[in-house]
Chain A
Amino acid sequence: MPKAAFSSPKTVSITIDGVKVSVPSGITVTAAVMEVGHSYIRTTPLSGQERSGYCQMGVCFECLVTIDGVPNQQGCLVKVSEGMQVTRQHTAPVISIHEGL
């Protein structure tokens, strides 16, 4: 699995898919999912293909994850923080029509 070669010795606790993990502080959510050994970040809503981040700069929208209950967040643009709950998205997340109104 990808290694954290230069990251901070400090760690934060987050959950990924409900499992508590400890990851270096300051890294992105996408990096955290990779660092703990997951082989993909989401599956596609159309055919269930496994995908992981392609661009790491907010362009490809492949690293969409649910963060603290909010779906479709670009994991490469968000840094991990203590207690954060990350869920990998399988198929299309259900979005309430009342959300954001």
Chain B
Amino acid sequence: MPVYSDIVIIGAGPAGMSAAIAATRCGLSVTVLDRQSAVGGQIYRNIEHSSSELQNFLGKHYTHGLSIAEEFHSCPAKLITNATVWSIENGTVNVSCNGAAMSFCSTHIIIASGAVERPVAVSGWTLPNVMGAGAADLLLKDSGLTLDAPVIVYGNGPLLLQSVVHLQQLDIPIAGILLTASYRNFISSLPCMPQALMRPTYLFEGMHMFLKTLGSKAPVFFNVRDLSLSHEDKQLMASFSRGRKSHSLSGQTVLLHEGVIPDTRLTRLTGCLHDWNSLQRYWYPRTTCWGETTQQGVYTIGDGAAVYGAEAAALQGTLAGLECARSLKKITKKERDKKASATFRKLKKVTSTKPLIDTCFAPIPSKLVPTDETIVCRCEEITAGEIRKTIAQGFLTPDGIKSQLRTGMGQCQGRMCEQAILEIIAQECALEPESIPTYHIQPPIFPVSLGEIARTDASSN
């Protein structure tokens, strides 16, 4: 039998933990599921087990997670770690936990599964030691591991700048910083500046990171395009163009980054409506200010709902927790609004920088479209050229291409290729990705053994 609680929360990052804290305070029973072995999500990954040296190095934006985790552990929510949610059906959440099948049910499900780094499909991105810039920071947080130097950094986005600053602070040689942004990004973001002044410290920190990047000992290139990576003499070679000139650099590690996008697997699985963010080029679930989606009883908060960062995620968590308490009649509408008013004020402040960040670090669409020789589907080793040929034959949707080429049918289930395939179709058909259907998401959304599925059915009957 599935285990019942008033709310099931998926994800124990800042959003999920804060929702659990707020909901249990109102007297609700809460179950929190997370894929990792400890709380924190990606932003506070390994927060409870990282060394004090690492915590000092990463600073207060990381260690803030400690106080959230502490508060969370002192609340009566039930935490289940190593729990991979592979389906949600009619209020039942099916989970694979260390090879065992478990089910949970509730009338209120809060999806707080966070964001992922946008996969940057460039020629040679499948080579060993090529990874996301965020991934490099996760290696540092989780394992205290620093990279093989020299490092080549490519792309755009605040996390990329953060990675550069971390490399500088760790004295890891950088071979080159290749930024895909052009000065136009900065000009078009200027009108968003006055609003962003509501958050001066954040702005100052951002500027500081940017200036440190510019002041790097390594060469910095703007408006870079056509990056191609290859492996030569035990080194990674990066060839790229800037203006009319071609350049090449060599290094041991390449970090790629073009921003962070919501992980919409679960909200799509549950049939929620999504909208397209045309600046940051990602789909995000449509929600009310309390996090409720277009599906009754399904809520989504944090970076999985739209990328606002950890501070906003925690505040959204509080709001969703309060709204669930109202919906389950533990508090009145009046009490909810009274408790939420300060949180809304804070949320307004921490989201004030979002238009500036989204515009300033907007990816340039043409640079997200892979060249013909680039492997787009890493699992099935399908190139952009093969995908273009299939589009020319009249297969104009990701699912149509999948039926012909097996893109998205490997172990990652399309997580790594979907964005690039959308961009290729958009370019080939001269459409906005908004008008292109995404992959149809169906359970199991993570690989599980048939035995586990069989045991789940037995336990729910």
Residue B147 lies at the interface, judged by CB distance under 8 Å to chain A: yes
Contact A55 B131 (CB under 8 A): yes
Contact A27 B132 (CB under 8 A): no
Q: B116 contacts which of A2, A39, A57, A100 (Cβ < 8 Å)?
A: A57
Residue B437 lies at the interface, judged by CB distance under 8 Å to chain A: no
Q: B135 contacts which of A5, A56, A70, A101 (Cβ < 8 Å)?
A: A56
Contact A99 B449 (CB under 8 A): yes
Contact A6 B53 (CB under 8 A): yes
| CB-based nearest B residue for A6 | B144
Residue A7 lies at the interface, judged by CB distance under 8 Å to chain B: yes
Q: B51 contacts which of A6, A35, A44, A61 (Cβ < 8 Å)?
A: A6
Contacts of B92 in A (CB 8 A): none
Contacts of B337 in A (CB 8 A): none
Contact A2 B132 (CB under 8 A): no
Q: How far does the Cβ of A10 sit from chain B's closest Cβ, in whole Å?
A: 11
Q: B139 contacts which of A31, A47, A79 (Cβ < 8 Å)?
A: A31
Total A-B pairs in contact (CB under 8 Å)?
139
Residue B451 lies at the interface, judged by CB distance under 8 Å to chain A: yes
Residue A59 lies at the interface, judged by CB distance under 8 Å to chain B: yes
Contact A27 B411 (CB under 8 A): no
Residue B187 lies at the interface, judged by CB distance under 8 Å to chain A: no
| CB-based nearest A residue for B49 | A26
Residue B380 lies at the interface, judged by CB distance under 8 Å to chain A: yes
Residue B140 lies at the interface, judged by CB distance under 8 Å to chain A: yes
Contact code string A57-90 (vs B, CB < 8 Å = 1, else 0):
1111110100000101000111100000000000
Contact A54 B53 (CB under 8 A): no
Contacts of B42 in A (CB 8 A): 57
8 Å CB interface, B106-138 against A: 116-117, 119, 125-132, 134-136, 138
| CB-based nearest A residue for B41 | A57
Contacts of B380 in A (CB 8 A): 46
Contacts of B54 in A (CB 8 A): 6
Q: How far does the Cβ of B264 sit from chain A's closest Cβ, in whole Å?
A: 13
Q: Evaluate whether A55 and B117 lie within 8 angstroms (CB atoms) in the complex, with A31-B143, A46-B380 already known.
A: yes
Contacts of B142 in A (CB 8 A): 27-28, 31, 56, 76
| CB-based nearest B residue for A64 | B411
Contact B51 A8 (CB under 8 A): yes
Contacts of B411 in A (CB 8 A): 61, 64, 72
Supply 12 A–B pairs (Cβ within 8 Å), ascending by A. A5-B144, A6-B50, A6-B51, A6-B54, A28-B143, A49-B381, A50-B128, A58-B35, A60-B378, A60-B416, A61-B412, A101-B450
Binding site for B on A (CB under 8 A): 1-8, 24, 26-28, 30-32, 34-35, 39-41, 44, 46-47, 49-62, 64, 70, 72, 76-79, 99-101
Q: Give 16 new A-B contacts, CB below 8 A, not counting A64-B411, A99-B451, A100-B452.
A: A2-B147, A5-B146, A5-B170, A27-B142, A54-B416, A55-B117, A55-B119, A55-B134, A56-B138, A57-B42, A57-B135, A59-B116, A60-B378, A77-B37, A78-B37, A101-B450
Closest 4 CB pairs of A and B: A100-B451, A6-B144, A100-B449, A31-B143
